Chain A
Amino acid sequence: MSEPPTVKTPPVAGASAGQPKVERPVIIRTRKLKKSYRMGEVTTEALRGVDVEIYRGEFICVMGPSGSGKSTFFNMVGGLDSPTSGRVFIDEVDVAQLNAIELAFLRCRKIGYIFQTYNLVQYMTCLENVTVPMAFAGVNSDEARERGMGLLDLVGLKDRWFHKPIEMSGGQQQRTAIARSMANRPAILLCDEPTGNLDLKTGAEIHQILKKLNKERGVTIICATHDHRLIDMADRIMWIRDGQVERLAERSDVTVETGAIGGTEHE
């Protein structure tokens, strides 16, 4: 994958606070992003004009109560859904102008997805799960196998490559899912509550892996979460409320109160 040209961030009207002064390469940019859903007679506006820039190699956490439009924002920047109006640029490509096959291509190579419920294919082994996206990208099976084993090694599951998801713990499944999301060396990892179904200890393992990917491989990570430790790792934090960006702040500008979640966190 060749490096996309570095684009200078144009000044966006109404850009949120925390906009850095230095020019950094932008990987995802939204312009007046709006999305509304029709449910019978009622039209719900899930997003009402979001202008955001996400930089290459950044670790950004997205927060917001349910119904805030957080999921819709996720779908938009993940190339999973098209906006009602406004634009989404992923790596300088206007998602709205892509057809179904081009979208599939984009999802296959540019973006990795990590789900709260892992979403592994139940009848495949650990390694087969990891190599599915490679098969879609046309990688031949020998190479896919080799790369898959490398990725499993990265998440510490090399010895378990032949296990089926049902034979693994939640943490192991999520690690497999991370390996799978990295299959085609994406530029962006989209994590939807990656530790939502895990206990604290396993969650911490996942955090470390994500951090490692971000630091060592320069993968941009966009993460929806309520886990304060994860938020603590982020470069920036974004709050969404009522379909709009409420606040976008550098980590250093935010005080994260460890132990705020029911006071159960002790490290």
Chain B
Amino acid sequence: MKAIEVREQVRLPLGRCLELVLSGLKYRLFRAAITVTIIALAGAFLMVMLTDGFTARQVAKTVAERIAPRETFRFWVARISLPLMPLQLADELASAKPGQVAWEEFAAWGRLSAEDLNRLTEAARRHHKYLAYFQNLGEGQRRGLVGAVTDEALFADLADPAKFAAFREALKTSTQQFPTSVEEFQQFLKDWQAAEPTRQKILAGDAAAVEQVKAKFLTGAQTPQALLAKADQNLLDTLTSLGFHIPADILPLLREQATWNLDGKTLISLYVGPAANQTGADLIGAGEGDNGGAETSEEPGNAPKAEAEAGPTRKGVVLVKNLLATRLDVNVTKLNDQMLYHYLTSAEGAKWFVDATACDKKLGLSAKRVQQVAAYVVNESHLEDVKNNVSQVAGSEGLLGFNNRTISLILVSFLVCIVGIANAMLMSVTERFREIATMKCLGATDGFIMINFILESVMQGVAGGAIGVALGFLLGSLRAWSSYGLLALGSLPLWPIVAAAGVALVVSILISAMAAVYPAWVAARLAPMEAMRIE
């Protein structure tokens, strides 16, 4: 019996296959549209996540840059006016390096050699690691391990042998992996306890220095902010002699930030007044007498002049408040700082405010300055908000900066997408049984049928992916805009977004190809005699 000699059987060029598939897709446009929609949704989801992540990181960087001067200022205000707390010290020690400001300060206060300080910072780093472990535990787990002890007392408490034995037992049943061996931890506890006196010495040195600053400069109503507003080389030298190593090059920064801060305080003091804790009801009660004047907001001079000399007064504050309420057309009890500041960021609002408080000689700010200060304060609160928002997204490490939850969400969305596409393709195969079988009767091989279906899905993947990328970019930017405001628009990074679009597109195509494998196999396996079947 001779066998068949197979020559050029079904090697359709890709272009012809694509043509066939395209005309088929055009014929079944509605079903294709459904599949494309599924892919587009999954692609859009991935794209939103990617855009969001990239934007968040970019925003985080921008915010960090913009907020840095304020943080430096705040740090030095706290440093010269408040003594260090033990945990704060441990924290700073953990990140201290030779040559840095903090290093010098600690060395001066504790009168420590570089070697001692080295040992101390090394222990502090271990302290940081262990503390992070305990802080990340759930409350119940932590209670089970070490009882109800604060972070501060935690390690001193565990140094007690009885307590440590109990901890050691409890740790055996803990589900959270302890960062090191228990023996190492025990050694650390010993070291940490041994270093306690050294730390106390630093704390005492710092406290003494702060006391001296207080005695020398912060007498009466003088605040550290006001002190830094007038900081000069003299002050710097004095502070250096006390152990505060303020770098000379940040002096202009400190002065500028201090001025913003002080002007901001002046503004709010005219609004809240010296009795900051009085309730709205008090204010309304007190303000009733001035209502006549308050109604005619064009005459702010109604406020008693005698009191104006003594700084922002209760009556003056009430007046400003009432005027503002009238101006903004809200109930005076509902007024808040945000509303005041936002109003003041407009040129009109700033001018009104200067006029309204003209009685008050203390203000001494031009309308323009009021506007700037208000903008500074509004911007600050905005930056703080964004920083809190963004830290949740951008702070996470891992694959593409996604945390595990996001990754699993994305994977689940892909899975759902694959199942959806596979289902749609299976239906498509089922309703084309006869067509497929006929094709096989006409000489189509299993491979051709399979490639045909996978190509079909891939083409849907291309369409769906493109739509998804566009949609996802749009949604992602909208989302970034809504959570970070205008900052987001300037922070949309071009190349990462392009890369994200590429990734989303490729992934869409891949998952549609993967989803089509099973339906295509079902189609390829179909017996050609199905073509004879009559429904």
Contacts and interface: CB of A to CB of B under 8 A. Distances in A.
B81 to A, nearest CB: 81
B57 interface: no
Given A71-B532, A123-B24, A107 B443 contact: yes
Contact of A80 (B444, B446, B527): B527
Contact of A106 (B4, B16, B439): B4
B141 interface: no
A93 B4 contact: yes
A108 B8 CA distance: 11
Interface in A177-211: 180, 183-184, 192
A75 B530 CA distance: 10
Given A93-B3, A93-B4, A119 B443 contact: no
19 contacts: A74-B532, A78-B529, A81-B527, A93-B3, A97-B3, A98-B4, A100-B446, A101-B445, A104-B9, A104-B443, A106-B4, A108-B9, A108-B442, A117-B434, A122-B27, A132-B442, A136-B444, A136-B448, A180-B442
A121 interface: yes
A141 to B, nearest CB: 8
Interface string B443-481: 111101000000000000000000000000000000000
Interface of A: 71, 74-75, 78, 80-81, 89, 92-94, 97-98, 100-102, 104-109, 113, 115-117, 119, 121-124, 132-133, 135-138, 141, 180, 183-184, 192
B194 interface: no
B10 interface: yes
A137 B6 contact: no
Contacts of A98: 3-4
Contact of B6 (A97, A101, A113, A136): A101
Contacts of B441: 78, 80, 107, 113
A4 B14 CA distance: 34
Interface of B: 1-4, 6-12, 16, 23-24, 26-28, 434-435, 438-446, 448, 527-529, 531-532, 534
Contacts of A89: 1
B28 to A, nearest CB: 8
Nearest to A122: B27
A67 B534 CA distance: 14
B442 A133 contact: yes
Contacts of B532: 71, 74-75, 80, 115-116, 192
B442 A81 contact: no
A97 B1 CA distance: 10
Nearest to A95: B4
A49 B3 CA distance: 24
In this complex, the member of A78, A104, A107 whose beta carbon has the largest number of chain B beta carbons within 10 angstroms is A104
Contact of A132 (B7, B439, B446, B529): B439
B26 A123 contact: yes
A45 B442 CA distance: 28
B465 to A, nearest CB: 24
A138 B445 contact: no
A72 B505 CA distance: 48
Nearest to B10: A136
A108 B28 CA distance: 27
A105 B443 contact: yes
Contacts of B6: 101-102, 105
Contact of B3 (A102, A124, A192): A102
B440 A92 contact: no
Contacts of B442: 107-108, 113, 132-133, 136, 180, 183
Contacts of A80: 441, 527-529, 532
In this complex, the member of B1, B438, B534 whose beta carbon has the largest number of chain A beta carbons within 10 angstroms is B438
Contact of A136 (B9, B23, B26, B531): B9
A246 B244 CA distance: 115
B23 A135 contact: no
Contact of A119 (B11, B26, B27, B531): B531
Contacts of A75: 529, 532
A133 B446 contact: no
Contacts of A106: 4
Contacts of B9: 101, 104-105, 108, 136-138
A71 B3 CA distance: 26
A108 B11 CA distance: 13
Contact of B438 (A78, A94, A115, A116): A115
B435 A121 contact: yes
A98 B9 CA distance: 14
B452 to A, nearest CB: 12
Nearest to B26: A123
Contacts of B528: 80, 107
Contacts of B23: 123-124
Contacts of A123: 23-24, 26-28
A93 B5 CA distance: 11
B508 to A, nearest CB: 25
B440 A104 contact: yes
B68 to A, nearest CB: 64
A78 B24 CA distance: 27
A104 B442 CA distance: 8
Contacts of B8: 137-138
Contacts of B16: 135, 141
A162 to B, nearest CB: 14
A70 B442 CA distance: 21
B443 A108 contact: yes
A104 B10 contact: yes
Given A74-B532, A97-B3, A123-B23, A107 B440 contact: yes
